Amino acid sequence: MAAKRRVPNKTVELDSRTIQEADAKATKRLEWLIGFMVVSYQFVYQILGLTVKAKSRQIPTMGVRVLGNSRFELLYNPDFVNSLPDDQLTYVLYHEVMHLALHHCTRRRFSNVHIGNIATDLAVNELIPVRGGSCTPPMKDGKLIGMHVSEFMKVPEYKDIRTMQSAEWYYDFLMKNTKEESKRGKGEGKGDGTDMESKEGEGKGDGTDMDDHGGWAEDELADEKVTTVVKEVNSSEQWGTISAEAKILIMAAQVHRINWRNLLRQHYGPYIWNDRETTRKRPNRRTGFINPGNRKILVDRHLIAIDTSGSTQELLPKFLAVINTMVDQLLFDIVECDTEIKDKPRPYERCKKEIEFTGLGGTSFDPIMKLVDERHYKTVVILTDGAAAECPKPKAEVIWVLPHDMNPPVDWGKRVHIDNH
């Protein structure tokens, strides 16, 4: 009986020792590899300096997460670290650094988490310089681990995918193709067709995740900390082996985009007239309908012009959501236009769920600017894709609301870009 008790104890002791040895080996390998990066991968070395390294067998591979108080943690599974050769482990570390540098961990949010994770991985892997014997993507059974644009191109449904794009671009591309697959699947009786996961083994690698995306959270302090380090790397030119195109995309990611919804609200704040007048149509807040209530006296009127010729139909729901929140504070007129104004301006006095379009011809803003001056509007907001000839500048303030990366045909007026995310 005594011998039977000692055998399990000895087994446990050996397992514990094996785990400790594996942990020590992984820690030593990471320390050596990160130190070696200061020679050829200065950029990676600098960003990794923001993280606290910690081993964890709760995740299968490796991942960065936000701890709060502008701190990051690099979690790694010791067994995963020990299973990779140096060049592949370098690639994975580079992968984690790019998630930080592109602010995927602290800023990006997607409604479809699964496709969002794929999109961020595609954006990251496109920027990692592959160098034989130094930095190569990890493999398993002869197949690439993780998500790579080169592998997506092998699948007919994704043949139009582009290289060197942002996570947002890849997300939109994948969502669009997923919806198209869903429609085809329903038409052919194959279910909902959303087989993004089922096709991961068909030309896109083995479907194994290269890293863990848990622990990502919005953190302005941490976000700014990354931006500061990236700008320091750029000013001191300590990039190491990285392409000029990758530098441009990384620096572009450091620009924190202004919330266009808040910008519109803030712009119209000074125009709100704060005087009030009594009215029997509204109850008094204290006594009800026994005494008259108050309402604001609104003086200035503003125009919303919708270009019905361009790609504004997808933007309109987002745009109207903001306008609907300001209906009770400002007097708006709304008008639709392509080469000419289709109808007289009509008051926009209550929240609307939808607007029916007319026109869909070419585009000219001359009639809009003429109308603005004739009716003495204080401001005019033009929802457009910007594809039109130059037009005269009116006396009113002009705000151009445009899709991302589009511009108006003139260099005056305030520009607001509506992003998808």
Q: What SS3 state is found at 318?
A: helix
Percent of the chain that is helix, strand, coil (3-state, to 5): 40, 20, 45
Domains of the chain: 15-252 (no CATH), 260-418 (3.40.50)
Please tell me the predicted confidence (pLDDT) of residue 185.
Answer: 54
Q: What DSSP string runs through 41-70?
A: -HHHHHHHTTEEEEE-SSSSSEEEEEEETT
pLDDT tens digits in sequence order for the chain, 421 residues long: 444 444 555 555 557 888 888 889 999 999 998 888 887 888 888 898 889 899 988 889 999 988 877 789 999 999 999 999 999 999 999 999 999 999 888 876 788 888 989 999 999 999 998 888 889 999 888 888 889 999 999 988 888 898 888 888 899 889 888 766 655 554 443 333 333 333 333 344 444 577 778 888 887 788 888 888 898 888 888 888 888 888 888 887 877 655 555 655 556 655 544 455 567 667 777 777 777 777 655 556 788 888 876 555 666 666 666 667 666 666 778 888 877 777 778 877 666 666 665 555 677 888 888 888 888 888 888 888 787 888 889 888 888 888 776 788 888 888 877 765 4
Query: Taking the chain, what is the end-to-end CA distance rounded to the nearest angstrom?
Result: 67
**401 vs 385: CA distance, rounded Å:** 8
Please tell me the predicted confidence (pLDDT) of residue 339.
Answer: 76
Query: Nearest CA to 167 among 185, 151, 149, 182?
Result: 149
**CB contact set of 86 (below 8 Å; sequence gap of 6+):** 29, 33
What HEC string does 331-343 produce? EEEEEEECCCECC
Q: What is the pLDDT of residues 81-133, one digit of tens each?
A: 999 999 999 999 999 999 999 988 887 678 888 898 999 999 999 999 888 88
Q: What SS3 state is found at 12?
A: helix
Outline where 154-206 has alpha helix (H).
167-187
